[in-house]
Amino acid sequence: MARGKLRIYLGAAPGAGKTYAMLSEAHRRTERGTDCVVAFVEHHHRPRTEVMPHGLEQVPRGRITYRDSAFTEMDVDAVLRRAPAVALVDELAHTNVPGSRNAKRWQDVEELLAAGIDVVSTVNIQHLESLGDVVESITGVRPRETVPDEVVRRADDIELVDMSPQALRRRMAHGNIYQPDKVDAALANYFRPGNLTALRELADLSAVAAS
C-alpha cells in the first residue's frame, strides 16, 4: 500500500488563517469529487472558521474521560475504518488527552499516512521542536506543545499562510482570534509587532528550507 501524502499549512502565529485555508481546500476538493473528510478541526469559536466545516463530512470524535472530566480527540480507528482519500487533521503539534491511543496528534497522523490516507494539517512555526529556544527568546514564552522537525520536513507539501503583523493585530483587536477578555493582554505581549515580525521571518525561512 502506498503511503499517504502529507500537506501542511504553516503559519507564524495563531489566527493567521491556517484552519480556514485548510477547510477552503477541502471544499474545493469535495466539489471536484475527492473523498475528503474532517477528522479533527478546532475552530476556537472564530466566527469565519466556525461555519467552514458545514457541508463537509465530519468523522465523529472519540470521547475520553480523564480526571472525571470528558474530552474529545480524533477517533483514529473511526477514520481508518472510513478510509477516505483525504483527511483534515488540525493542529499537528497537539498533545492528546492521557489515555488516548497516541500521546501526540502527529503520531495519529502517522497512522493515517501509513494506511494510505492523504492528510492535510496545520502547525504554527513556534511548535517546531528545534525552535523552542529561539521562540522563547523572541516571545518570552516557551511552547508547551511541539512536533519533531523531521515530521514537518517529511511533508510532501508545505503551504505558508502569510499575514502581516499589522493585519494580524487588527484581526486580534476585532475579536477574530481570541475571546474579548484576552485581547488586550495578547496585543501587549505575544502579539507585539516585533514578535510577529520575527516569527513571520522564521516561518518564511522554514518554508523555503522545506521546499
Q: Which residue has the higher pLDDT, 68 or 113?
A: 113
Q: What is the pTM of this model?
A: 0.93
What's domain 6-210's superfamily in CATH? P-loop containing nucleotide triphosphate hydrolases (3.40.50.300)
Domain parsing of the chain, residue ranges: 6-210
Question: Tell me: the pLDDT tens digits for 146-203?
Answer: 999 999 999 999 999 999 999 999 999 998 899 889 999 999 999 999 999 999 999 9
Distance CA 178, CA 58 (A): 25
Taking only Cα atoms into account, the Rg of the chain, rounded to an integer number of angstroms, comes to 17
- Between the alpha carbon of residue 167 and those of residues 10, 21, 59, 181, 196, the distances in Å are 17, 16, 33, 20, 11
Mean pLDDT of the residues in the chain: 94
Residues 6+ apart with CB under 8 A from 20: 48, 49, 52
Instruction: Dig out the grid coordinates for 80 from the structure.
Output: 481508518
Q: Which conformational region is residue 200 in: left (phi greater than 0), alpha (psi within -120 to 50 degrees), or beta?
A: alpha
Candidates 21, 48, 53, 50; CA nearest to 174 is 48
The model's confidence at residue 208, banded by pLDDT at 50, 70 and 90, is low
Residues 6+ apart with CB under 8 A from 211: 158
